Amino acid sequence: MAAFLPQQFDLDAPLFTVTTAARLADMHPQTLRGYDRLGLVVPSRAKGRGRRYTLRDVGRLRHIQALSGEGINLEGIRRILALEAQVEQLQDQATRLLALLQRVDVPVGVRTFTAGPTGQVRMGRHATLSRNLALTTGA
């Protein structure tokens, strides 16, 4: 029988009830329900079966508990979670852009794109950009 490896688990499969997710996150079910009401965690809704939480939700709940334990209030936690989500999206976007650059066979750092005064895009050499930055920043 093959052993299950962590990468084989679907982190987004809605598996856990409120009670089970709360137990896994080491919190009281009412605390979890409160976080749900505040939108800090958003479970899936199963037909006639109520809320179902994922492994990703449980990880998020543990993260919320850790932030709360550091003395951060719920509004601060909400802002931190939003900023972390934004950073993750930007990292994903940067990864996709880097992959795109590699597919079109443009070595990273060799060419840059700049916008002209009317918004047109110009392709230039990295050295040109560095010289222009030095001129405008006084470096």
Contact at 8 Å (CB) between 9 and 55? yes
The torsion angles phi and psi of 100, rounded to 5 degrees, stand at: -65, -45
pLDDT tens profile 87-133: 999 999 999 998 887 887 655 566 667 777 887 777 765 444 444 44
Secondary structure class of 121 (helix, strand, coil): strand
Report field, pTM of the whole predicted structure over 0.85? no
Contact at 8 Å (CB) between 115 and 129? no
pLDDT tens profile 43-72: 988 777 688 999 999 999 999 999 999 999
Architecture of domain 8-103: Orthogonal Bundle (1.10)
Span(s) in the chain for CATH 1.10.1660.10: 8-103
Structure tokens, 137: 């920043």
Calculate the alpha carbon distances from 88 to 34, 91, 94 in Å.
Answer: 25, 5, 10
